Amino acid sequence: MRFQMIDRIAVEEEGEGPAIVCVHGLGGSSNTFTPLMPAMARHRVIRLDLPGSGRSQRAEGGLTIERYVATILDVCDRLNVLRAHWVGHSMGNIVLQHIAAAHPKRVASLTMFGPLITPPDAARTAIQARAAKAREGASGMQDITLALLQASISADTRERLPIAVAYVRESLMRQDGENYARSCEALAAAQPAAIENIEAPVLLVTGDEDGVAPPQAVRAMADKLHRAASKRVVVLPRCGHWTPIERPEECQRELRDFLAANARS
């Protein structure tokens, strides 16, 4: 594995073969995709921490979806990645939808775990309130984490998979309060991509208890992918929003099969 900082952005690179670029969501990091690494064998896997998240904490200035897009494309250019399979989680999927819609030649396939087009209005208000809470510092982040452990992972995960719960807790608690607040503001202000223009094959995976990406919304999203070469919606039982963490084996299987089916894309 190779680790490097590219303009204050933490980037991990591992393996050889066709490129895969992984983009995490709010409160996540490159480690969101660690459970999926076995499914991405025989690929050159590039995982980065978005500006303001994980180990990319030193990013200055405002954070927006547009900035995330520009940052990712710049990293890919620096690494000579002109076309890739893209894998996202949560907010990262909004970023990837903008890339796929605007830069179709760069996208061999698109896999989205916990996908949403943009947050609904009520969620935007709640995310803004979360940003204010995060600016209270460690105590605010603890309150946010406790609330999200109840809301974002399934009851079955909380009962049976304490390691998954511990991962989500640590991922959130490790975020710097101010940077997490700015990330919240980026999500709250997100504008929809022209997803009807996406041409690549698309895999959408959500949980039946995912309140951020509920199955009915994900199916409605898939219905808008009119130009996609193919599309598949998978709903995992007894699973919340952190699909790769809560149901790693099932997510590995779906991703592995999807990549194999689109190996020549």
Torsion-angle region of 39 (φ positive above 0: left; ψ -120 to 50: alpha; else: beta):
alpha
Q: Examine the pLDDT at 264 and tell me if it is beyond 80.
A: no
Adjacent-strand bridge partners of 72: none
For the chain, percent of residues with pLDDT exceeding 90: 92
- Percent helix, strand, coil in the chain, to 5, is 50, 15, 35
Mean of per-residue pLDDT scores for the chain: 95
> Which pLDDT value is given to residue 72?
97
> Which pLDDT value is given to residue 59?
79
Position 45, amino acid? V
Crossing angle between the packed helical segments 177-188 and 91-102, to the nearest 10 degrees = 50
Q: Examine the pLDDT at 91 and tell me if it is beyond 70.
A: yes
> Which pLDDT value is given to residue 6?
87
The pair of structure tokens assigned to 84 is: 């890739």
> Which pLDDT value is given to residue 265?
66
pTM of the model: 0.95
Position 94, amino acid? I
Query: Per mean pLDDT, which range of 40-44, 58-62, 168-172, 188-192 is the poorest?
Result: 58-62
238: Cβ–Cβ under 8 A, 6 or more apart, which residues? 154, 155, 156, 157, 207, 208, 209
Query: Per mean pLDDT, which range of 114-118, 135-139, 166-170 is the poorest?
Result: 135-139
For residue range 196-222, list pLDDT tens digits in order.
999 999 999 999 999 999 999 999 999
* Closest alpha carbon to 35 in 258, 264, 253: 253
Residue with tokens 């599309």: 231
Measured CA distances, 122 to 87, 127, 129, 218 (Å): 27, 9, 11, 18
For residue range 242-259, list pLDDT tens digits in order.
999 999 999 999 999 999
Residue 60 pLDDT class (50, 70, 90 cuts): confident
For residue range 37-54, list pLDDT tens digits in order.
999 999 999 999 999 998
